[in-house]
Amino acid sequence: NSSTAHKPRGSFILFEGGDRCGKTTQSENLVKHLSSKGVDVALWKFPDRQTAIGQMINAYLQGKTETDDAAVHLLFSANRWEKRESMLAALSAGQTLVVDRYAYSGAAFTAAKGIPGLDLEWCKAPDKGLPAPDATIYLSMMPEAAAKRGGYGSERYEKEEMQRSVAQRFQDLRDATWHTLDAARSIEAVGSDVTRIAEAAIEACQEGKPLEH
The residues of the shown chain that bind ligand T5A, judged by CB under 6 A, are 17, 19-25, 46-47, 61, 76, 100-101, 105-106, 109, 149-150, 155, 157, 186-187, 190
Give strand ranges (E) for the chain: 12-17, 41-45, 96-100, 135-140, 178-182
Which amino acid is it at 76? F
Indicate the residue among 7 and 148 with the shorter CB distance to ligand T5A.
148
Site size for Na ion, by CB under 5 A? 1
Smallest gap from Cβ 180 to ligand T5A, in A, equals 15
179 contact choice in Na ion, ligand T5A, none (CB below 5 to 8 Å, kind-dependent): none
106 contact choice in Na ion, ligand T5A, none (CB below 5 to 8 Å, kind-dependent): ligand T5A
Q: At what angle do helices 103-111 and 69-81 cross, to 10 degrees?
A: 180
Indicate the residue among 10 and 17 with the shorter CB distance to ligand T5A.
17
Indicate the residue among 6 and 64 with the shorter CB distance to ligand T5A.
64
Indicate the residue among 166 and 205 with the shorter CB distance to Na ion.
166
Smallest gap from Cβ 201 to ligand T5A, in A, equals 20
56: phi then psi, degrees, rounded to nearest 5: -70, -40
Indicate the residue among 24 and 180 with the shorter CB distance to Na ion.
24
* List 24, 92, 95, 206, residue binding Na ion (CB under 5 A): 24
d(C-alpha 53, C-alpha 37), whole Å = 35
Pinpoint the alpha helices (H) of 101-159: 103-111, 120-124, 143-147
Q: Which of 184, 207, 203 is nearest to 37 (CA)?
A: 203
d(C-alpha 127, C-alpha 183), whole Å = 27
Indicate the residue among 24 and 67 with the shorter CB distance to Na ion.
24
Residue 51's region, left for phi above 0, alpha for psi from -120 to 50, else beta, is: beta
Smallest gap from Cβ 23 to Na ion, in A, equals 5
d(C-alpha 85, C-alpha 131), whole Å = 10
21 contact choice in Na ion, ligand T5A, none (CB below 5 to 8 Å, kind-dependent): ligand T5A
Q: Which residue is nearest to Na ion (CB)?
A: 24
Q: Which residues in this chain contact Na ion in the complex, by CB under 5 A?
A: 24
